[in-house]
Structure 1
Amino acid sequence: MARAAAAHEKSPNLALLSIGQVLARLTAEFPDLTPSKLRFLEERQLISPSRTESGYRKFSPDDVERLRLVLTMQRDNYLPLKVIKSYLDDLDAGRQPELPGGASVAGPSILSSERRLGRDELVRAAGVSPQLLADAVSASLITASDVYGDDALKVLTALGELKRSGIEPRHLRSFRAAAERELGLIESALIPVARRKDASSRAKASELAREIAGQLEIVRGSLIRGALSRLDP
């Protein structure tokens, strides 16, 4: 964050953006972005916009790219903010960190908006048959839509690999039920925060949901790795 602040000081003539202008640039890519979420991310020290003498926040181009990186990591990797902050701290220190799970992100400059794929485009990009997509939708592993994003592409590609090992989408129907049970756990944990209707509480509830989901993923992964270890000769 100190580096971002230094950039503001060294380049006072940069075209700085207001919160409204930042939202105008990013909401098409991140529809859930709001002024309260921007303020929440600043409270968590993930972004550090400069301030005018009147106290209004002003964002430099570097601030916007850093914000885009944070939001992309949340959306695509489902990472809690404390993990993202640690990653950004490493980047600021000149290191090249690796995200949990081995997903590497070199920096804000390589980020692009999520792809929007039609049904035929999705099938071609995943290298699978239209029937596999139909089976995935039938098993509630992918939601039927006219347009699909990167997450659907990742799932369909994985299903293609699983099919080569004899695992069909119908074998994975229980995954949807398990996800619904986990969602119930998360919703129960959020009740104390969700009762408060202010914008700040809504932003905190959203972040808490991601953190809980991340912890559940750690437990699930550990159980699977433990089970796999019993298969070793």
Structure 2
Amino acid sequence: MSIGEVLGQLRVEFPDVTISKLRFLETEGLVEPQRTPAGYRKYSWDDVARLRFVLTAQRDQYLPLRVIRDQLAEFDAPGRQRPTLVAVGPGGEVPGRGGQEPAESAQVRLGRAELISRSGIDESTLGELERLGVLVSDPAGWFDADALIIARAVAGLAEYGLEPRHLRGYRTAADREVGLFAQLVAPLARQSDPAARSRAAETARELVALSQQLHAALVRVGLRSTLGR
């Protein structure tokens, strides 16, 4: 298939994908289409499967390309039977398996009632989270997939007795990270080159993933004395 035909295949599931994005993933070594004598790209169905894996892992699991590249390298190891490509999270979880709901698309739009229904929080909790700035809707009043993730996490923490007022520090810490990371990705994001903007988005994903690892490790270390370990 030509790059245009591949784009047509993928846009059914990934409407935001562009030719520039496909070229960027090629330059990053995630797919290696054949070349005709005239230099035109020719993709196989295996190439399309790899691209679908990469795009799914980025969209649903927010995985950085470094992690995705490592997973693809494992699939390509000699002597290994190639599995069906699915997005795998940092802890090995697979969307839609193990009793978990599939990861939400970044394009999800939820009203207040649906957010409450799907997350398990109530209206008063939602109002308090909005007042604290932990949950924010868009100007039209819709909540996105990340808002659902936040609301579900709040509902889970509430089962252990943590209330919205205890979460103010999370918002403050996140704002600090946003300010810090924005300084790193803004120069790329401001460029008119689509490849530079793709690199900015990938850099942001990488920074978020590393931040999550750092935060989790620091909390584990801090709890060791409490746990007697």
Greater shift, 97-106 or 195-204, is seen at: 97-106
Q: CA 1:205 to 1:139, structure 2 compared with 1: closer, same or farther past 3 Å?
A: same
Q: CA 1:195 to 1:25, structure 2 compared with 1: closer, same or farther past 3 Å?
A: closer
- SS of corresponding position for 2:172: helix
Q: Does 1:94 align with 2:94?
A: no
1:117-163: CA deviations, max 9, x gaps?
Answer: 43322222223323222322222222225544443322212111111
Match of 1:204 in 2: 199
Q: CA 1:158 to 1:55, structure 2 compared with 1: closer, same or farther past 3 Å?
A: same
Q: CA 1:130 to 1:65, structure 2 compared with 1: closer, same or farther past 3 Å?
A: farther
1:210, CA displacement in angstroms?
Answer: 1.9
Structure 1 unaligned segments of length 5 or more: list them.
1-15
1:36, CA displacement in angstroms?
Answer: 2.0
Query: TM-score, normalised on structure 2?
Result: 0.75
Q: Does 1:134 align with 2:134?
A: no
- SS of corresponding position for 1:231: helix
The partner residue of 1:162 within 148, 157, 176 is 157
Q: State percent identity of aligned pairs.
A: 38
1:2-46: CA deviations, max 9, x gaps?
Answer: xxxxxxxxxxxxxx3533761684287453x33222111111121
1:132–1:160 Cα contact (<8 Å) kept: no
Query: TM-score, normalised on structure 1?
Result: 0.74
What is the aligned residue count?
214
1:193–1:201 Cα contact (<8 Å) kept: yes
1:80–1:211 Cα contact (<8 Å) kept: yes
2:120–2:152 Cα contact (<8 Å) kept: yes
Match of 2:226 in 1: 231
**Matches of 2:185 and 2:23, distance apart in 1:** 20
Letter in 2 for 1:38: L
1:166-215: CA deviations, max 9, x gaps?
Answer: 21222212222221211222222236645754232222222222222222
Match of 2:99 in 1: none
- SS of corresponding position for 2:162: coil
Match of 1:63 in 2: 47
Structure 1 or 2: more helix by fraction: 1
Structure 2 unaligned segments of length 5 or more: list them.
97-101
Q: CA 1:133 to 1:37, structure 2 compared with 1: closer, same or farther past 3 Å?
A: same
C-alpha RMSD of matched pairs (Å): 3.3
**Matches of 2:92 and 2:132, distance apart in 1:** 28
2:60–2:103 Cα contact (<8 Å) kept: no
Match of 1:35 in 2: 19
